[in-house]
Amino acid sequence: MKASFWFDKWQSREIAFHEGRVNQLLERHVEALNLERGAHIFVPLCGKTRDIAWLLQRGYRVTGAELSKVAVEELFNELGVEPKIKKIDKFEVYIYHDLTVYVGDFFEMTSELLQKVDAIYDRAAFIAMPDAMLTGYCDVLKEITKKAPQLLIGYLYDQNLVAGPPFALSQSRLNTYYGQDYKITQLETIDSNENMKGIAPAQEACWLLCS
């Protein structure tokens, strides 16, 4: 899967993966991360998720990483704020108060750019990656965040019925990529109230990953 896949999705407005409201599993389980006000949360492949506004309103600092400039511009437009834009290394960086978003290739991110992270919120990145990319993605994420705890949300469905993305998640798949570095706890599973791509019955699940 190439970066152009996601660029094209945003350009053609094929963004069914964008959730038009704050994720209810985030609302119910963010406290499992035991974060204090002002804690720094990293959101990989953040798009223009409404979850960012919700996290900011709760007093957290948020840093996102996103390939699509279109998505990031829409994020700030929907927040109703005008960011400062800087060029740092290979990234365009959008900054407004407690929100920073790096526009560019996630695999070019470094711990120096990201600085100290208290937690990761992943609702879009892990499930966007095919197995061929997941080892690299997880290795980079662990490196740049120093294995910060994660709240990870994904879908449970029969991958044999529907090709991803989003790719199906499971406890065993998480164990494969994160089991050596994190204790993995499934917090809740709920009905998604829709079939994946209109075909496969799906549930949405939330996991806590702590090292």
Q: Which residues are annotated as a binding site for S-adenosyl-L-methionine?
A: 10, 45, 66, 123
Alpha carbons 16 and 33: distance in angstroms, whole number: 28
Binding residues: 10, 45, 66, 123
- The number of beta carbons lying within 10 Å of the beta carbon of residue 36 is 8
Q: Alpha-carbon Rg of the chain, whole angstroms?
A: 16
Structure tokens at 92: 């365009």
Where do the DSSP E strands lie in the chain? 40-44, 61-66, 84-88, 91-96, 99-103, 119-122, 150-156, 183-196, 200-210
Report the first-to-last Cα separation within the chain, whole angstroms: 29
